[in-house]
Amino acid sequence: MRVLCCLDGTNTQQVSHAAQMFSTAEPLTIALLTVIDAGPRRDMDRTRERFWRPPLRHGPLTDEMQDAERAVSEEVLKAALGDLPQAETLLRQGLPELEIVNAAAEWRADVIFICPRAEYGEPPHIGPRSVGHVARFVLDHAPCPVLLLRPLAGEQFPIRR
């Protein structure tokens, strides 16, 4: 079974835990995927266009941005490799939702592991709109089954009507 694990910088433990639960499936091949989101750069380029400036392509600022993006992505992959040392690593750049489904097709994933959204210290979000735009797109467009790793949110239950 080929499992593609999508890392967003905040879900390493969740993804590792889920992958370990599948470790009895033989042969199990895991790939850890992290995507450098090109969205913010595109927005910055649009803002530059508004101020009659060409897109940021070369120069110290671009180098710094690339260094920071790459360093953080590599750190995320390294942290996940600590739990899943046999895994392959994939680092891509672009719109995360597109990169994930394309990577899944190219790598011939049997299943994609993805979390509903990146969580930055807030309590797990359940209910409407709890699935972010990236996970939603992957659910809609994936070339294989998708396992949505919802956070543990038992303390928010029972849901009252």
For 40, 86, 151, the CA distances from 31, given in Å and listed in that order, are 26, 9, 21
Residues 113-142 that bind another protein (CB under 8 A): 118, 120-122, 125, 133-134, 137, 140-141
Establish if 69 lies at the interface with another protein (CB under 8 A): yes
Question: What is the bridge-based pairing of β-strands 111-114 and 146-148?
Answer: parallel
Beta carbon of residue 23, minimum distance to another protein (angstroms, whole number): 28
For residue 68, count CB atoms less than 10 angstroms from its CB and return exposed for 0-12, middle for 13-18, buried for 19 or more: exposed
Cα 124 from Cα 148, distance rounded (Å): 14
Q: Of 20-28, 45-53, 102-110, 147-155, which part binds another protein (CB under 8 A)?
A: 45-53
Q: Is 4 helix (H, G, I), strand (E, B) or coil?
A: strand
Nearest CA to 109 out of 36, 30, 11, 35 is that of 30
What is the size of the binding site for another protein (CB under 8 A)?
36
Contacting another protein (CB under 8 A), which of 25, 72, 105, 126?
72
Which residue, 30 or 112, has its beta carbon nearer to another protein?
112
Beta carbon of residue 63, minimum distance to another protein (angstroms, whole number): 10
**Residues of this chain that bind another protein (CB under 8 A):** 9, 37, 39-40, 42-44, 46-53, 56, 61, 64-65, 68-69, 71-72, 95, 97-98, 118, 120-122, 125, 133-134, 137, 140-141
